[in-house]
Structure formats: structure tokens, C-alpha cells
Amino acid sequence: MEHLEDQERMDLWATIQDALLNEQIDQFRAEFLDLHPYDQAKIFEEVEDQIRMQIYTYLSPEEVAEVMEHIDYEEIEPFFTEMDPRFAAQVFSEMSTDDAVDILNEFDKNKVASFLTIMDDNSADEIKDLLHYEEKTAGSIMTTEFVVVKAGMTIREAMLHLREEAPDAETIYYTYVIDEDKRLVGVISLRDLIISEEDWVISDVMSERVVSVPVGEDQEEVARMMRDYDFLALPVVDFQDHLLGIITVDDVMDVMEEEASDDYSKLAGISDVDSPDDHAFTSAKKRLPWLIILLFLGSFTASLIGRFEATLDQVAILAIFIPLIAGMAGNTGTQALAVAVRGIATGEISNQGKSKMILREATTGLITGVSCGVLITLVVYFWQNNFYLGLLVGLSIMITLIVATLAGALVPLVMHRFKIDPAVASGPFITTISDIISILIYFGLATAFMRLLI
């Protein structure tokens, strides 16, 4: 079914709601289940609590599970809380294991323990196996619902096994091959299984060049690998190459969205991205830590200007150029920062490429600094009819742009070197650092130019 526009979804919902109000269960199920699970989820999020409680009685746990998998994990807890606990436990049992784990990670430990106790033993054990992996690692986003075949099987045996296991598998486009010790030794595509002769042995047909990731690998690196290799799935192994699970492309899309939001929030100087539904107090709590740090850094900038009070007293006109120089420093620093953070996040900057990037940014800073410096020198000269004032401002702009550009590039690299997320070198942070640099350069040169200015 095509993706529905908001108005189409609401029109359909009106029809579905009439069936609910008239307790026409068959009509409701026919209309509602004909929708794509994404559209079902959108309708589900917008209806009143009382209507949702009625929907729970008309749908099976498996059908509700499919809806839940299309709702944002961070907003899903209230829905499971309002369900009957046993029904909620059945819904978790019907969900893909990795999706169930992602949702349960949003709950407090007592609530998780309660659901696991009610759940059937097989589902509970599978979920427990994944819950103990550290968040944002390959282990935390992998699924254990996959199909494996043994290297000694024939194609006929493998196809029979695939037919039995496929209904419960996350994907069957890749079938992974293990040896007698359950070590990952190869992979065979569904296409190769179909076109091969039935009496051929898997070990003769499989590809032994299997790209896998360790269970503790960072999820961002996993996403990068799947992007680079164009995989639909990626196997996860332990230190002895035992196959533990697979990561599918839909999981990676969620990771990329999560990492992008995380980097965006840090670049904005926020501990976490604000949700439109956040209370004002919640939003303030997310923003305050960085603002307080920046407040103290700003106070340091103000104290620096105070140290040059004598210089300002003698040449008061210097004050009008402070915002110009500080603003330019912040702008060029943020530009270099964005390039460096993006390069690190996408893996485009390797160890060998760091020197090249620094040299490029230094050259860029030199070109932009000289260009802006010459331009502002002429502007100030003709405006104030004072060549030395123009030269001072021009030199300050030139040196500031070179240094701020280098700082914007170097700060993320240094943070990355010490295993700190480079996105922490946020826009507001680098802007404040650039302010300090620009003030020191500007007033340092002004003090040296004092005799000529007076």
C-alpha cells in the first residue's frame, strides 16, 4: 500500500473509528490490517487512550507487535504500560528480538524484570542474551533470528532447512555457513542456493570471504561498514568467530538516525535533542550544562578585554571592531569544525588523511584570512581615513582566521585521539574559544600598534 498523506490517514481512520464504535470487529480488522504497519502506528499514536484499549481487544499480540515496531522506541513505553501485562508480554514475544531489546532498554529494570518473568521461556532467554550487551554496540542491535546451515550439508538439505526456519528469520537473502564448532566459515546467497544443483555440497558453493564484526564493535562503525560494502545484513561474531547474530539494514538505518541526532545535539551544545513534547524544564535541563560552561568561558573573555582597558582608553574606536573580529573567528572556526567532525564521523579522515586535512585547512585559513584582511584594511582606511587602524584590523582578521580555522580542525582531531566524541567540540564551544583567540590577537596587535594609532 502506498504511503498515506495525513488527510488520507485521517479519512481512513474515520471509517475505522465508525467500525470500532459500532463494534463491527470484522470490518475494523479488514480496514485496519489493510494499512501498512507504519500507517497503523501513526493512527495508533493519535487516538485516545480509550480507543486504543478497545483496539487491543480486537488485535492479536502478533498484530500489535508489528504496529509497535514502527513506533519510536523513546515514545513507546506508555503504550506497553497501559496494556494488560500478560498481553504486553505476549507482544514482546512476537516482536523481533532486537526490536524488543531496543524497547526494553528504555524501561526501568524493575519493569523489564516483570515482563521477562511473564514472557514464555524461549523468548525471555533470547531477550536476556541481548540485554546484557553494552548499549550502542553490535551486540545490542543484532538479532538472533537468522538461518544458518552447516558446511557439510547438500544444497537439497540446506533448502529444506531454510524452508523450515525462514518464517521466523529476520532475513533469508544471506544464509551463513558454520562448521561443526559453530564457527562462521562462509556465506551463501539465496540466489546461489536456488541455482545450484541439489547434490552439491554447501562448502563447495559458499563464499569463504565473509565480512563480520565483533560483538563489542561500536554501532557507528557497523553502520559505516554496511554502507561501504552495500550489505543487507552483517554477521556478528565473538573472539573465536562463533556466529552470535546478524545486523540487518533496517537496524542500521535506525543507528544512522540516532547517531545523526546525537551529533547534531552536541554540535548545538545540547546534551540531547529536544523533543517537541518535552516540558520546558526538561529542555532547560538538557541545555544548561553547556550554557554554564560557556558562561564561565565568556566571563574569561570579558576579563581579557578588561586587561586591555588602558589600550581602549587611549584608542576608543578599537571597541567597535571587537564584534567583527570575534564573529569572523567564530564563523571560520565553526566551518572547519563541521568539516573535521563530518570527516571523522564518516571515516573519510584516516590516520594518513589527518595531516592532509590539517594542511588543507591551514591553506584555506591563509587564503580566506589574506582576502578578508586586505578587504577590511581598505574599508577601514577609507571609512576612518586612518591607514594604521585599517592595517591593524586587517592583520587581526587575517591572523585570527588562520588560527581559528586551524583550531576548528584540530580540536575534534585531538578529542578523537583521546577517545572523546569529536561532536562534543560543539559550535558554541568552538565559537567561545575563537572569541578568546581573536581578543588576544586583536588587542595584542593593538598594543604593539599603539604609538602609530595615537
* pLDDT tens digits, 174-210: 899 999 888 999 999 899 999 999 999 999 999 998 9
Mean pLDDT of the chain, nearest integer:
82
For 280-453, CATH gives 1.10.357.20
pLDDT given for residue 197 in this prediction: 92
Q: How confident is the model at residue 388 (pLDDT cuts 50, 70, 90)?
A: confident
Q: How confident is the model at residue 274 (pLDDT cuts 50, 70, 90)?
A: very low
Whether 214 has a pLDDT exceeding 70, the answer reads yes
> Do 380 and 386 meet the contact criterion of CB atoms below 8 Å apart?
yes
Average pLDDT over residues 382-398: 89
Whether 378 has a pLDDT exceeding 60, the answer reads yes
Average pLDDT over residues 75-89: 89
Q: Cβ–Cβ contacts within 10 Å for residue 139, how many?
A: 25
Q: How confident is the model at residue 336 (pLDDT cuts 50, 70, 90)?
A: confident
Cell numbers placing 46: 493519535
Residues, the chain: 454
Q: Which residues of 276-293 are buried (b: 16+ CB within 10 A; e: fewer)?
A: eeeeeeeeeebbeebeee
> Do 37 and 65 meet the contact criterion of CB atoms below 8 Å apart?
no
Residues 139, 210: Cα–Cα separation, whole Å: 18
Q: How confident is the model at residue 394 (pLDDT cuts 50, 70, 90)?
A: very high
Q: How confident is the model at residue 108 (pLDDT cuts 50, 70, 90)?
A: confident
Q: What are phi and psi for residue 278, nearest 5 degrees?
A: -65, 140
The angle that helices 109-118 and 121-131 make with each other, rounded to 10 degrees, is 150
Radius of gyration, CA atoms only, the chain:
30
Residue 172 DSSP SS3: coil
Average pLDDT over residues 395-399: 92
Cell numbers placing 283: 529542555
Q: How confident is the model at residue 264 (pLDDT cuts 50, 70, 90)?
A: low
pLDDT given for residue 263 in this prediction: 57
pLDDT given for residue 423 in this prediction: 61
Closest alpha carbon to 374 in 362, 356, 361, 391: 391
For 6-136, CATH gives 1.25.60.10
Sign of the alpha-carbon torsion through 79, 80, 81, 86: positive
Q: Cβ–Cβ contacts within 10 Å for residue 243, how many?
A: 21
Q: How confident is the model at residue 331 (pLDDT cuts 50, 70, 90)?
A: confident
Closest alpha carbon to 224 in 270, 200, 191, 260: 260
> Do 77 and 45 meet the contact criterion of CB atoms below 8 Å apart?
no
> Do 173 and 189 meet the contact criterion of CB atoms below 8 Å apart?
yes
Q: How confident is the model at residue 450 (pLDDT cuts 50, 70, 90)?
A: confident
Task: Categorise residue 200: left if φ over 0, alpha if ψ from -120 to 50, beta otherwise.
Answer: beta
CATH topology for 148-248 is: CBS-domain (3.10.580)
pTM of the predicted protein model: 0.58
- Element holding 175 (H helix, E strand): strand 174-178
> Do 372 and 328 meet the contact criterion of CB atoms below 8 Å apart?
yes
Amino acid at position 336, single letter:
A
* pLDDT tens per residue, range 22-76: 888 888 888 888 888 888 888 888 888 888 888 888 999 999 999 998 888 778 8
Average pLDDT over residues 98-123: 86
Strand-strand pairing, 148-150 and 174-178: parallel
Average pLDDT over residues 349-373: 84
Residues 297, 26: Cα–Cα separation, whole Å: 65
Closest alpha carbon to 311 in 176, 445, 205, 125: 445
Whether 303 has a pLDDT exceeding 80, the answer reads no
In the chain, domain spans: 6-136, 148-248, 280-453
Cell 564563523, residue located:
331
Residues 32, 28: Cα–Cα separation, whole Å: 6
Residues 240, 423: Cα–Cα separation, whole Å: 34
Sign of the alpha-carbon torsion through 389, 395, 398, 402: negative
- Asked which of 143-157, 321-335, 342-356, 393-407 is least confident by mean pLDDT, the reply is 342-356
> Do 176 and 146 meet the contact criterion of CB atoms below 8 Å apart?
yes
pLDDT given for residue 213 in this prediction: 93
Average pLDDT over residues 324-339: 84
* pLDDT tens per residue, range 242-261: 999 999 888 888 777 766 65
Whether 435 has a pLDDT exceeding 90, the answer reads no
